[in-house]
Every structure is written in C-alpha cells, then in structure tokens.
Amino acid sequence: MIPAGKRKNAWVKRGIILALVLGITALHYATGTEHMYLHQVYQRGYYLPVILASFWFEILGGVVTAAGLALLYLVHIWRDWGHHPTYAFQQYAEILMYLVIAVLLGYLARAQRKTRERLEKTGSDLEEAYGRLNQAFEQIRHSDRLASLGRLSAGIAHEIRNPLGSIQGAVEILGQDLPEDDPRSEFARIARQEVARLEKLTGEILAFSRPAPPRRMPADWREIAGAAARLCDDEARRRGVTIVGSFDAPAATLDVDPEQVKQVLINILLNAVQAQPEGGEVRICGATGDGTFEIAVEDDGPGIDPEKLDSIFDPFFTTRREGTGLGLSISYQLVRNNGGEIRVDSTPGRGACFRVVFPMDAARS
C-alpha cells in the first residue's frame, strides 16, 4: 500500500505537469500566427512537461503526457497552420520527437530507479550482515572469556572444596557442646552460615566451569515456564511481588533440555523478583518471532544502567551485595548449549525484559 504522503506528492506532480501542458497550449491558441518565433518557443516548451513526466512516472507517464499534449497541439496545427504546410510539417515532426523523448527518458528513469533499489537492498543486506557479524564476534569474545575463566575457576573451586569440607566438619564439632547462652555459640552459627555460603559459591563455580551437556527432548514451553514460576512463587510472595504467567497461547514444543531451561528461567525470575524490594509484578509469556520462539520475563524494577548491559552476563558481575554474579553467566551458557540465546532490553526506571530465544528448528508449534 502506497503511503498517504507519497500519494499526495504524486498528485502534486501530476498537477504541475497538467498545468504546464494547459498553460503552454493556451499560449499557442492565444498567440497569432504572425508571431511565429513565439510559437517556436512554445513548441520547445512542451518538452518540459514531457521530461518531468518521464522522470517522475517513467515510460507510461511520459508517453501519456506526450500523447495528451500532442492531441491538443494537433488541433492547433489543423486550425491555425493549415495554410502553412512547411511549418505544419515541422510541427508534426516535433510531436513525434515528444513521444521519442518520453520513451527514452522514461526508460532511463526506470533503469535509474531499479539501480537505486538494488543499491538500497545491497546496503540493507550489508547492514544486516554487519550486525550479524558484530553479534557473532561478541559471542565468540564472550565465549572465549568464559572458557578461560571457567578453566581457572574450576581449578580454584576444586582446591577450595577439600579444605572447606574440613572446615565445615570442624565447625560442626566445635559448636556441638556449646550452650545457647555461650557467646561462642553465635560465632559458631555465623561460621556455619559462611561455610555454607562458600559451599554454595564453589558449587556454582563448578556448574559454571563444567556445565552438564544438555539432554534434549521434546518439551512444552508452558510446562517448563509454569514449573519455574511455581518454584519462585514463595520467594516472590515474601517480597510482595506477583508473578503473572500467560501460558494460554501460543503452543510450542521445544527441543531442549527442560531442566536446564527451567534453571535458566528460575535464575531470571529470581533476579526480577529481587530487583523489586518494594514489591511489584513479574510477567512471563511466550511469543513467536521471525523464525524464532521466545520466552520473555519482564519486571517493573529500576531497570539496568545502559553502561552495565554489556557486562550482565560476565562471570562474577553483580549489582547486589549478596549476589555471586554467576547466575546469569550460567544461564547464558545453558541457553547457548541448547541452541538459543538470551537478549535483554531495559530502560532505567522502567524495568527490564529478558528474552530466552530459540530458533524455530528447536521449537515446533
């Protein structure tokens, strides 16, 4: 459908052409035959609407304009120049030239338009290819960084885990016989909590450095998302946050590891819940895109600073004091291993939206 602005512009151009044809024709009819030099000027003036019509409307526009003014001009020739056969013949030849010019310029205008369209399409294709290349480069750079850090983290986690187990056992033994009112009992409790926290951290580091390969199978995205939402519901209620799931449509079966995708959604949902300390709403839904299927999690939190958007999937990057900075990194790896990708959009002060996207060859509706 042609936009209203272009239609209006086309009618303006038609008006200009018609005004030129009628104006020049009126001059022909109003000027006496004794002013032959003026008629020759008017005769050349007909080229102006023919050129404009051919340039603006290509061959058809130029030929229609040339044919229309030719009819008007023929009447003038028959009426006023019948007594002057030599000059009349020159005018007939001029009419033929109007048609030749219309076809020639119309063809050139059409060729120019097609060349411009090809260049625009090529430019668009190049821009799209550049975007894909940039995205691929970022993914490779991120993957290399994750791989290097994963190997280092795995070694450190293994070295920490053995002495950590010994420390945990020693703390349990030391705290067994302490009465509740003994000040050392409080220190033992704090030590147990901190050891448990370190144990959790080493477990996350190992999960990050050596994620289990996905066990792909057909899975309904609604079952995966629904299970993740239910597991996060208690934490959400404690913080005054409501998780709203839209699982009615569309239906799609994902060829993924359902447990790994569920873990990803739990990580994202908990982040969204914890981003709203004063309560709010978290929405989770599915949607089909251009050859993709996505599961979106959107919150009403403070959003993410644009300067931090490029770092949120980096290991150990976190904006929360109690966070380890590994949840989104692990989620990033799991989604990539299942053939998808994570995208995030955020406006500071207006929340964030994480999209877990799978290609349609991994999602069958």
The pLDDT, as a whole number, for residue 151 is 58
The pLDDT, as a whole number, for residue 144 is 61
pLDDT at 106 over 80: yes
The pLDDT, as a whole number, for residue 4 is 61
Residues 9 and 30 sit within 8 Å (Cβ to Cβ):
no
pLDDT at 349 over 70: yes
pLDDT at 365 over 80: no
pLDDT band at residue 284 using 50, 70 and 90 as cut-offs:
very high
Bridge-based pairing state of the strands 280-288 and 241-246: parallel
Higher local confidence (pLDDT), 277 or 219? 219
pLDDT tens, residue by residue, 14-25: 888 888 888 887
One CATH from 3.40.190.10, 3.30.565.10, 3.40.30.10, 1.10.150.120 for 217-364: 3.30.565.10
Sorted by where each begins, the domain ranges of the chain are 4-129, 132-209, 217-364
* CB atoms near residue 150 (< 10 Å): 20
pLDDT tens, residue by residue, 218-260: 888 889 999 999 988 888 888 889 898 887 767 788 889 988 8
Least confident of 229-238, 268-277, 316-325: 316-325
pLDDT tens, residue by residue, 119-162: 888 888 778 877 776 776 666 666 666 565 555 555 565 556 66
pLDDT band at residue 297 using 50, 70 and 90 as cut-offs:
very high
Q: In three state form, how does the secondary structure of the chain look?
A: CCCHHHHHHHHHHHHHHHHHHHHHHHHHHHCCCCCHHHHHHHHHHCHHHHHHHHHHHHHHHHHHHHHHHHHHHHHHHHHHCCCCHHHHHHHHHHHHHHHHHHHHHHHHHHHHHHHHHHHHHHHHHHHHHHHHHHHHHHHHHHHHHHHHHHHHHHHHHHHHHHHHHHHHHHHHHHHHCCCCCCHHHHHHHHHHHHHHHHHHHHHHHHHHHCCCCCCCEEEEHHHHHHHHHHHHHHHHHHCCEEEEEECCCCCCEEEECHHHHHHHHHHHHHHHHHCCCCCEEEEEEEEECCCEEEEEEEECCCCCCHHHHHHCCCCCCCCCCCCCCCHHHHHHHHHHHCCCEEEEEECCCCCEEEEEEEEHHHEEC
- Tokens representing 6 are 């272009």
Return the closest-CA partner of residue 248 out of 290, 298, 282, 285. Answer: 285
